[in-house]
Structure 1
Amino acid sequence: MSPNVRLSRAVAGTAAAALLALISACGLSAEEPDAQAAPSTEPIVIGMSLPLSGPVADRAKPGMEGYQYWVDELNAQGGLLGRKVELKVLDDSFDQQTAINDYTRLISQDKVDLLLGTFSSDLNVAVAPVAERYKYAYVQPSGGADEIFARNFKYLFFAQPATTQKLPDRFVDLIAAMPAAERPKTLALVQLDDPNTTQAADLFGERLGKLGVKTVYDKTYAPDTANFDTIANAIKQAKPDLVINGSIAGDGVSLIRSFQKIGFSPQQLYQLNTPTDPGFPKAIGASNTEGIFTYLAWSPEATYPSNTGFVAGYTKQFGAAPSEDAANSYTAGQVLATAVKAVGKLDQTAIADWLHQNKVDTIVGPLGWDATGRPQGDMLLGQFQGGKIKIVGPESAATSKDILFVKPGWK
């Protein structure tokens, strides 16, 4: 080796050492880009895992479409931070462990830039701790069971107006306003085994019980329950005036079909989730929806500024009006994008801090959160009238002033 080569390497080594010393003195890491470097032009990747197969796939599909419409709209407006946005979507098949594995992979292996949530309390109660452990902001579109928020996570946010804790409010207030002699006397509770639906059933039973409504049947069924004939017959024998069904998807349809088969029609029927599926009227017969109560996080008739454009744009892109699942996904996207734009960088802690300190205008109205990620609003009370869900509570948002207190029999 020539002396000149040795000298050159020595000089280079000295220069490199000097450069590292300079970097260190400036508070930078040798592995980190200079703050003055040109901003990245790579797409921002948002990861999620959804139950695209399995027992609630029919609800996950429009939910996925809601996310996709949000991204398409966002990219048409220039993306986020001047970068295009891409979704990386995995399928958890409505299995908790798969969902945990998927989100762990998205964060630690795929190193996605941002996260958006999955569907149902059952999955989110398992996934929220993963996002918290890795300190990723986690905006979930559905899953309002209070136990998810009781852990006081910093990075968790629910993109609906209220959690399960407040879900019974509108309906129970309606029953309380009825003359005592006209209120239902007996109640049947039948719910899928999910943190949201089982908590809701307990709350309905407790609060209606205080009004003198006696629970005469209470059954929790497994997510893979396919035949509801036995349950329907047991409810019929209990002769309840009011049935509250904590359903999620097709399970609510199956229960009604079993009621129809055995000729049992309660005076009042309240179902969670299932009635908001666009295919619900066709599944049980449009005339048979009349009088069924449900709750709503979102309404296509709501007058919030971004809602009209969402309904029109989604309908044009997918050839059908959005469902509540699609709206919930879009709302979660609105929340995340607003926070990212506000902080101006992909900083998970800054995003979470901003959301705790600010409200976001969405298609379900202004959303704000407490320290646990619980939203601070209220749900709407809906009832099928004339083949469509009408808002019957609160009065300020009502699209119908009439309420059917006795559900017509099946046709």
Structure 2
Amino acid sequence: MTKHANYLKLCIFIFMPALLFFFISGTDLKAQSETKPMVFGVSLDLSGSYKVMSQMQKNGFLLWQKHVNEQGGILGRPVEVIINDNKGSLEVLYDHYSRMLADPEIEFVFCPYSSSQTGKVAELFERYKVPVLASGASAPSLWDRGYKYLFGLYSPADKYSQGFLEIMSMNNRKRLAMFHSRDIFSSGAAHGARVWAERLGMDILIFDSVEDEPHSYDQAVDKAQSAEASVMMMFGYLDSSILMREAIFRADWSPDAYYATVGPVSNEYYNTLKDLAEDTFSTAIWKYHSNLIYPGVHRFNADFINNYNQEPSYHAAAAYAAGQLMAQALNRAGSVNYTQLRDILEKMESFSIIGRYGVNHRGQQIRHVAFITQWQNGELEIVWPSNLSTASPRIEYGQR
């Protein structure tokens, strides 16, 4: 009995440290697993033609990461956003998303900036059955393809100019010249404007596309001027909005109003054109206003300025909002379950810093309302809707 007891004591003496090490290590591994970061990946064009808007989106994603981690993360886990630069290459973009979606360490992805880039990789979201919010895309055709895992975040492009056209109609400016770039966003925005203008009984004198060459913009202005259009509209991105405004100046023409999508809401537009930027109308998915009551909007605006020394554009706000809504959906789901999360995003009615969220059965956004803006005296003012306007719209370029 004594010999057996001594043997037992010897075994305990030898193996107890190993057992304790295993127990402690196992506990640590479990704790590490429970606090493993929830990783989101995104590929943005940070050095190509969309670099201005993409840099804003990058900063928006990173600020959301900072804020959500300060609040305890999502489902008790810290959040990490991995950002890649696709340099404007669709091949690099596709490779980035193929790798991210196949990587078990990356649980979610955000959309790239632009409808063209989103359209390039949307089929990957379907293949991997990962729900994604379109934080930088709004071409209506994206939701004509039967996707089940792509959800619109803000107003579709075909509704961008509705507020502007209402302003023109109410001021009896109904002779329109419409031009658009040849990508799916610009084309979708232009065709939507055409439908809405026809409903308002406006005269569409010219409806045409332009090539990405300066002389094409000069030709477009010549056509509009010859047709005696009173309103010039350009559907495209930053470069096209600048090129068309410069062509109007070279022609020594003063239409009653000039409207362009995307570009004019950025400071880059005003910094490039200076006084020529004055009076340009555009559509802003979001613009900060002290009267906004959306959750987190005032903190977002203040912290963005403090962190990046510039005011956020709607591109930054949209990126941040995508993070907000994903966090809301995940907290409702209570776990990382793609099927459950997809169903929640399809049915969820909610708010983010850019306004209301709610989609139809195709995943297209139907609740969000955009602003119409205009550059006035060096400030980007909200001129529609009237309940949030910071200034009245100014019309008639040549009479000021």
TM over 0.5: yes
Residue of structure 2 in register with 1:360 after alignment: 350
TM-score normalised by length of structure 1: 0.82
Residue of structure 2 in register with 1:252 after alignment: 241
What is the Cα deviation at residue 245 of structure 1? 0.6
Provide closer, same or farther for how the CA distance between residues 68 and 291 of structure 1 changes in structure 2, counting only shifts above 3 A: same
Choose from 148, 159, 163 the match for 2:156: 163
- Show the 5 A alignment for 1:66-105: 66-105=60-99
What is the Cα deviation at residue 270 of structure 1? 0.8
Residue of structure 2 in register with 1:154 after alignment: 148
Provide closer, same or farther for how the CA distance between residues 226 and 113 of structure 1 changes in structure 2, counting only shifts above 3 A: farther
Residue 382 (1) aligns with residue 370 (2): no
Residue of structure 2 in register with 1:313 after alignment: 303
Q: Determine if contact 1:292/1:407 at 8 Å carries over to the other structure.
A: no
TM-score normalised by length of structure 2: 0.84
- Give the residue type in structure 1 aligned to 2:338: Q
Residue 108 (1) aligns with residue 110 (2): no
Residue of structure 1 in register with 2:12 after alignment: none
- Matched residues in 2 for 1:235 and 1:176: separation? 18
- Matched residues in 2 for 1:79 and 1:349: separation? 22
Q: Determine if contact 2:158/2:190 at 8 Å carries over to the other structure.
A: no
Provide closer, same or farther for how the CA distance between residues 240 and 133 of structure 1 changes in structure 2, counting only shifts above 3 A: same
Residue of structure 1 in register with 2:280 after alignment: 292
More helix by share: 2
- Matched residues in 1 for 2:56 and 2:229: separation? 34
What is the Cα deviation at residue 56 of structure 1? 1.4
What runs of 5+ residues in structure 1 fail to find an aligned partner?
A: 1-36
Moved more, 295-304 or 163-172: 163-172
What runs of 5+ residues in structure 2 fail to find an aligned partner?
A: 1-29
Moved more, 63-72 or 234-243: 234-243
Provide closer, same or farther for how the CA distance between residues 172 and 234 of structure 1 changes in structure 2, counting only shifts above 3 A: closer
Provide closer, same or farther for how the CA distance between residues 366 and 200 of structure 1 changes in structure 2, counting only shifts above 3 A: closer
- Give the residue type in structure 2 aligned to 1:289: A
- Give the residue type in structure 2 aligned to 1:398: S
Q: Determine if contact 1:184/1:241 at 8 Å carries over to the other structure.
A: yes
- Give the residue type in structure 1 aligned to 2:142: I
Provide closer, same or farther for how the CA distance between residues 214 and 191 of structure 1 changes in structure 2, counting only shifts above 3 A: same
Residue of structure 2 in register with 1:281 after alignment: 270
What is the Cα deviation at residue 147 of structure 1? 1.1
Provide closer, same or farther for how the CA distance between residues 82 and 409 of structure 1 changes in structure 2, counting only shifts above 3 A: farther
- Give the residue type in structure 2 aligned to 1:256: R
| Aligned length, in residue pairs | 368
Choose from 186, 196, 214 the match for 1:207: 196
What is the Cα deviation at residue 238 of structure 1? 4.0
Residue 192 (1) aligns with residue 190 (2): no
Deviations 1:357-394 (A, max 9, x none): 22232112231222222122222222222322222222
Residue of structure 2 in register with 1:218 after alignment: 207
Residue 303 (1) aligns with residue 296 (2): no
- Give the residue type in structure 2 aligned to 1:53: S
Deviations 1:137-189 (A, max 9, x none): 111112111111122322211222x21232232122223333xxx3232x222
Residue of structure 1 in register with 2:312 after alignment: 322
- Matched residues in 2 for 1:226 and 1:89: separation? 33
What is the Cα deviation at residue 258 of structure 1? 2.6
Choose from 327, 334, 342 the match for 2:332: 342
What is the Cα deviation at residue 289 of structure 1? 3.0
State the SS of the aligned residue for 1:279: helix
- Matched residues in 2 for 1:386 and 1:193: separation? 32
- Give the residue type in structure 1 aligned to 2:282: T
- Show the 5 A alignment for 1:262-277: 262-277=251-266
Q: Determine if contact 1:142/1:158 at 8 Å carries over to the other structure.
A: no
What is the Cα deviation at residue 315 of structure 1? 0.6
Deviations 1:197-236 (A, max 9, x none): 11111222233245454333333234x5466444444444
Choose from 114, 128, 134 the match for 1:134: 128
- Matched residues in 2 for 1:232 and 1:104: separation? 43
- Give the residue type in structure 1 aligned to 2:245: I
Percent of residue pairs bearing the same amino acid type: 24
State the SS of the aligned residue for 1:154: coil
Residue of structure 1 in register with 2:388 after alignment: 397
What is the Cα deviation at residue 78 of structure 1? 2.0
Q: Determine if contact 1:49/1:89 at 8 Å carries over to the other structure.
A: yes
What is the Cα deviation at residue 240 of structure 1? 2.1
State the SS of the aligned residue for 2:322: helix
- Matched residues in 2 for 1:169 and 1:339: separation? 30
Residue of structure 2 in register with 1:43 after alignment: 37
Provide closer, same or farther for how the CA distance between residues 395 and 126 of structure 1 changes in structure 2, counting only shifts above 3 A: same
What is the Cα deviation at residue 346 of structure 1? 1.6
